[in-house]
Amino acid sequence: MHNHSSFISEPLVNEQALLGELVGDHAEAWDLAMELPADMLQKLGAMGILCAEVPASFGGLGASSQHSGELTAYVGSLDSSLRSIMTSQGIAAWAIQRFGDRDQRHRYLGDLTSGDLAAVGFSEPGAGSDLAAMQTRVKRSGDSVVLDGQKMWVTGARYADLLLVLCLQDDDAAFVVVPASAPGVCIEPVPAPLGCRAAGHANIHFDNVQLPAASVLGGGGQSLPMLFTTALSYGRMSIAWGCTGIVRACLEAATEHARVREQSGKPLGQHQLVASHLADLLISEELCTLVCEHASQSWQSSSPDMVIAAVLAKQVSAGHAARSASTAVQVLASAGARDGHVVARAYRDSKVMEIIEGSNEICQLILAQHALTTV
């Protein structure tokens, strides 16, 4: 079994310690209040922790996918709302690094490692996984561009300084970086979301938003599926590691409870039916860790299978997180059936993980197609 204290490898031990101190026992209160401290997010952003893989030349930590993933799992075990902010910041940074020109990389990555927060807009009211239904569009207007459309369920939008928006551009597509304060941008918080309730989810309307042409990453004109898949792969990796953290938190909470809670004169853990639940949690933790490590290794080596490895990691980890949370609530019973409790949060948060960044069904279709074409 993985030792909880050794989940983070040496390069990010200091960052782990800081996160542990900052989060402490506040996650429950943040969940109930549906808000994270903005000053804490800015502090973590300025330290590069929210997008740990950004190279040092751009002010980042230069962490490997493995080390960044382990840090993400640790945060996921503490607070999935904070982990959601890390995922959004990481997606934005990866897209800028991948598609931005030299000036854009220096400018925007420098912003994201100096305290500015980013949110990423993919989904629309009529377009989730169906890219052909996307309506948000950017058009050239002299030396400027104009953005119109809307995005929904944008994680971190309530806290964001910058919005990275996937949109159509003529017959192609583009990522556009939009200041959240720009005229014509309207951010409407999502009321009482089911999971990751403090992650600042919001719907965003863009009404004739005027921007410099340099706001379009790489000048635009890229393939929509390519932009979507590249950015989403990073998100799936981050969520997979975060779900591994959820499983670890559930394993820890359930085993601790089973050690000290007595029923019929002996600890719960010595009852065979409860012991089977603990075994299932341990199996889930091991499986999630291994599939995430494989995905990070594929990512780090730029393997041809890196995209499918990210889908596999997300599918496996999200499913096991949902089942593990349900199991942990069962083991803790009334002790865990309290809003804000770590396993109650896990129960709600993990269900959302089975929906975002490609629902279970979408991931299954991708994996089935991979099997049909390669096996």
In this model, does residue 1 exceed pLDDT 60?
no
Q: Cα separation of 78 and 249, whole Å?
A: 7
The Cα-based distances of 256 to 65, 288, 331 in angstroms read: 31, 21, 10
* Angle made by CA atoms 267, 272, 275, in degrees to the nearest 5: 70
In this model, does residue 2 exceed pLDDT 80?
no
User: What would the DSSP string read from start to end of 140-177?
Assistant: EETTEEEEEEEEEEETTTTT-SEEEEEEEETTEEEEEE
Q: Given this model, what pLDDT does residue 5 score?
A: 39
- Place domain 118-221 in its CATH homologous superfamily: Butyryl-CoA Dehydrogenase, subunit A, domain 2 (2.40.110.10)
Is CATH 1.10.540.10 the right assignment for the domain spanning 4-112?
yes
In this model, does residue 7 exceed pLDDT 60?
no
Partner residues linked to 174 by β-bridges: 167
In this model, does residue 188 exceed pLDDT 90?
yes
User: What would the DSSP string read from start to end of 9-35?
Assistant: -GGGHHHHHHHHHHHTT-HHHHHHHT-
Q: Given this model, what pLDDT does residue 263 score?
A: 85
Q: Cα separation of 262 and 30, whole Å?
A: 31
In this model, does residue 284 exceed pLDDT 80?
yes
Q: Which amino acid is at 205?
A: H
Residues 40-75: tens digit of each pLDDT = 999 999 999 999 999 999 999 999 999 999 999 999
Burial class (CB within 10 angstroms; exposed 0-12, middle 13-18, buried 19+) of 11? middle
Reading the block at residue 286, the tokens are 């091991």
**Domain ranges across the chain:** 4-112, 118-221, 225-374
Residues 215-250: tens digit of each pLDDT = 999 999 999 999 999 999 999 999 999 999 999 999
Are 4-112 and 118-221 equal in CATH topology?
Answer: no
Q: Cα separation of 14 and 257, whole Å?
A: 29
Q: Cα separation of 185 and 163, whole Å?
A: 10
Q: Cα separation of 147 and 188, whole Å?
A: 18
Closest C-alpha among 278, 272, 280, 305 to residue 291 = 305
Q: Given this model, what pLDDT does residue 269 score?
A: 85
Residues 287-303: tens digit of each pLDDT = 999 999 999 999 999 99
Residues 321-352: tens digit of each pLDDT = 999 999 999 999 999 999 999 999 999 999 99
Summary mean pLDDT of the chain: 94
Closest C-alpha among 257, 260, 280 to residue 326 = 280
List the CATH code of the domain at 225-374: 1.20.140.10
Q: Given this model, what pLDDT does residue 11 score?
A: 75
Residues 249-271: tens digit of each pLDDT = 999 999 999 998 878 888 888 89
pTM of the full predicted structure?
A: 0.94
CA-CA-CA-CA torsion sign (201, 206, 210, 213): positive
Closest C-alpha among 123, 217, 98, 82 to residue 162 = 217
Partner residues linked to 147 by β-bridges: 138, 209
Residues 13-23: tens digit of each pLDDT = 999 999 999 99
